[in-house]
Copies of this chain bind each other. A is one copy, B any other.
Amino acid sequence: MLSYLLSRSHEPGRRPGKLVDPEPEERVGGLTIYRMDFGGGHSPQERRDTDFEPMLEPLPDASDHALAWLHFQGDVSAAQLTRLGKKYDLHPLALEDVLNRGQRPKIDVYRDTLFMTLALPHVVDHAIAIQQISLFIGPNYVLSFHAGRHDAFAAVRERIHAAHGRITYAESDYLGYCLADVVVDSGFVVLARYNDELDGLEETVFDDRSDDLVGAIHDIRRRLIGLRKVLLSQNEALMRLVGLEHRLIHADNRPYFRDMQDHAKRVLDLCDGYRDTAASLLDTHLSLASARMNDVMRVLTLIATVFMPLSFLVGVYGMNFDTKYVWNMPELSYRYGYPILLGVMIVAVIAMLIYFRRKRWL
């Protein structure tokens, strides 16, 4: 997760705002453009194409209350972004951030546009990845870029078609909110997976003793460390949005922004909590492992303490001293030497067991 923030960093000294195509291995593969035109009294129109140029036209009419939403799914090239930048008068630094994935989530305020980069946590092939979402919110257009393959915003297009609720007002800030809200709520989906993972680990921690557990806990911790950094920035960016005074932002939409930021904080709280839980889990695992080791050691000590003296005793009477001298092991020639020795050993064992019992080792 942390590597998300590292990916595709500037090389030091490169011209800011210089658009460079991502490396082939960083590409997602393919580009699909969705265009929705709605509001202004017309029924919503959806177009979908892989061809770039024709999708830009017609420019939405500023006087009309219509809104054009262009969504770029996949890899946009530097050339295409330059074209877009000219058409919509976008700041080159913002365009660069669209291309250089791995931005900290943030919001940049320009005179006529708002630019946001967000981090969409997403489950790809059973692993959790973070994908960058970039948003330009203009007076009569919204441009969104998703550096991933799955169609995250299908539900929003559905809602536009359904033409129900506030979205029909065709306000660009509300549409931007809808998209950002999808990103924020995806956090719950991903964190629910962490919840399940941790629950699973918690169950195994009390009966398992394999190394896998330690590896799994470390893995989950490391991922949560990274995810937390990203979510923290996302929360900060959204907090800034809530307090933002800008001509593009309608006062009536503020409660929605607040609600979204509230969700972002909740996601962050969950992430924090899971990180702490994982740490506590490792502590617990260590405690249990040490408790089990104590058990093992106790058994070893019991066995050794009982049998070493006994073995010594029987070893004594296995010596070959010449018994013709009366001082050399006269016990060997006693009539009841063997039973006496057995008796001594039994008494010794009983005494040791009582001692252990007192020490609470038994």
Contacts and interface: CB of A to CB of B under 8 A. Distances in A.
Interface of A: 2-3, 5-6, 9-18, 91, 93, 97, 103-104, 106, 108, 110, 152-156, 158-159, 164-167, 178, 181-183, 185-186, 188-189, 191-192, 195, 206-207, 209, 211, 214-215, 217-218, 221-222, 225-226, 229, 233, 255-256, 258-259, 262-263, 265-266, 269-270, 272-274, 276-277, 280-301, 303-305, 307-312, 314-323, 325, 327-329, 331-339, 341, 359-361
- Which of A103, A287, A360 has the most CB atoms of chain B within a 10 A radius of its CB? A287
Given A13-B182, A303-B304, 9 more contacts: A6-B195, A13-B152, A13-B155, A233-B269, A293-B294, A307-B312, A317-B321, A325-B335, A327-B338
Contacts of A287: 214, 217, 282, 285-286, 289
Contact of A12 (B15, B182, B269): B182
A202 B5 CA distance: 19
Contact of A305 (B185, B256, B300, B337): B300
Contact of A337 (B156, B183, B321, B332): B321
B304 A269 contact: no
A128 to B, nearest CB: 15
12 contacts: A3-B195, A6-B188, A12-B188, A15-B164, A16-B256, A93-B255, A211-B288, A214-B288, A295-B359, A297-B301, A301-B303, A303-B304
Contact of A309 (B110, B307, B316, B325): B307
Contact of A104 (B183, B269, B289): B269
5 tightest Cβ-Cβ pairs between the two chains A and B: A13-B155, A9-B188, A314-B315, A317-B319, A12-B185
Contacts of A311: 307-308, 311-312, 315
A317 B329 CA distance: 12
A340 to B, nearest CB: 9
Contacts of A93: 255-256, 259
Nearest to A117: B262
Nearest to A258: B108
Contacts of A209: 291, 294, 360
